[in-house]
A and B are shown apart, each in its own frame.
Chain A
């Protein structure tokens, strides 16, 4: 059995403040973002014009597809584009 007094409980509750809201929301969007990325890259594999657009202005092309072009996403797409 674990016994805590009020002071210990207060310390433990204070030890986990909320993470910044934007970060939590971005992490929760990961499945949707990854699905959009996968779809985009499948299309790019078959569509030379889309590939050209992605190479010319990746940030805009991602934004138009509803994907926020964070540095991490940009790195990943560039890596995956090289394998197309």
Chain B
């Protein structure tokens, strides 16, 4: 697989390519889900940085080994979410594997996961609004970079970044409105 095709390839195709031993497809899979998995561990389960890192590695080791067992390749995202949930629960139980899930899982976890699912869908839509816009929104909102840093990185006058971000958000909003229905908007 050519990494340039990575944004257009669907999850099912990605699974098929990974099962066929395509290492570039595996790179794309890790890139596509790395933020999601880490966010479930760190935000959803509120693991410490060290535990979140261990859990992250466990999850991808399991995904790699167990990918052949995934019955519906279109269900890659929920499958990864479920694997991540199990890994984090095991880590929180710390030896007491008999503890019921409700005693270990943080309050509001399901709502948090729903938000992360929406966030992942929004990230996927970034690929459809042009590389510059996608990069700018990612740097500003997800990487928390300043106008100055973004301006230097993208060779743009810092004074124009705010208005560009606003236009890029409009493009993203339109891209999402044109796409298939997702779940309910956050906070509604």
B-binding residues in A (CB < 8 A) = 1-6, 8-20, 23-24, 26-28, 30-32, 34, 70, 72
| Pairs A–B under 8 Å by Cβ, sample size 15 | A1-B177, A2-B179, A2-B181, A2-B183, A4-B186, A8-B187, A9-B173, A10-B141, A13-B137, A13-B138, A14-B144, A18-B34, A27-B60, A34-B64, A72-B58
User: Binary interface profile of B, 119-159, with partner A (CB < 8 Å = 1, else 0)?
Assistant: 11011000000000000011001111000000000000000
Is B53 engaged at the interface, CB distance under 8 Å to the other chain?
Answer: yes
For the complex, what is the distance from the CA of A23 to the CA of B26, rounded to whole Å?
A: 14
Q: Name the B residues within 8 Å of A32 (CB-CB).
A: 23
For B65, the closest partner residue in chain A by CB is A34
Is B27 engaged at the interface, CB distance under 8 Å to the other chain?
Answer: yes
Q: How far is the CB of B132 from chain A (nearest CB, A)?
A: 15
A-facing residues in B1-31 (Cβ within 8 Å): 21, 23, 26-27, 30-31
Contact B64 A30 (CB under 8 A): yes
Q: Name the B residues within 8 Å of A9 (CB-CB).
A: 122, 169, 172-173
Q: How far is the CB of A1 from chain B (nearest CB, A)?
A: 5
Contact B123 A16 (CB under 8 A): yes
Contact B119 A16 (CB under 8 A): yes
Cβ-defined partner of A19 (8 Å) among B35, B61, B144 = B35
Q: Contacts A3-B185, A28-B26 given: A16-B166 contact, CB under 8 Å?
A: no
Q: How far is the CB of B106 from chain A (nearest CB, A)?
A: 16
For B170, the closest partner residue in chain A by CB is A6
For A27, the closest partner residue in chain B by CB is B60
For B27, the closest partner residue in chain A by CB is A28
Q: Name the B residues within 8 Å of A3 (CB-CB).
A: 173, 176-177, 185
For the complex, what is the distance from the CA of A14 to the CA of B137, rounded to whole Å?
A: 9
